[in-house]
Amino acid sequence: MSNEFDPITVPLIVPIEHGGNSYPELTFREAELGDLCAADAVSGEMQKTAAILAGMAGVPIQAIRKLKARDLAVITDKVGHLMGNEKKPTTGAT
């Protein structure tokens, strides 16, 4: 049985190449306090987001920084609730 906090795999529109590794998709687990603490070590909202996403996906922050903006948009839409953000309704209700 799956729940809304199970890891989510997001296929990338543009795969990331970093450190000899290719990432055609990233799997994100629910953020942990350590991920949020890692965000405190950097300045700037986008850097903080990158630090949290890197921890959630288990990849180096340098790899996350190579995401294309359109991939970032898809990722934040699909896994934002795993970062502690409120999940958006899918019914069209406001």
What pLDDT digit, counting tens, does each position of 4-60 carry? 899 999 999 999 999 999 999 999 999 999 999 999 999 999 999 999 999 999 999
* Per-residue pLDDT band at 89 (split at 50, 70, 90): low
From the list 5, 16, 3, 2, the residue with the least C-alpha distance to 79 is 5
> In 7-42, which positions are buried (b, 16+ CB within 10 angstroms) versus exposed (e)?
ebebebeeebeeeeeebeebebbbbeeebeebbeee
User: What pTM was computed for the model?
Assistant: 0.87
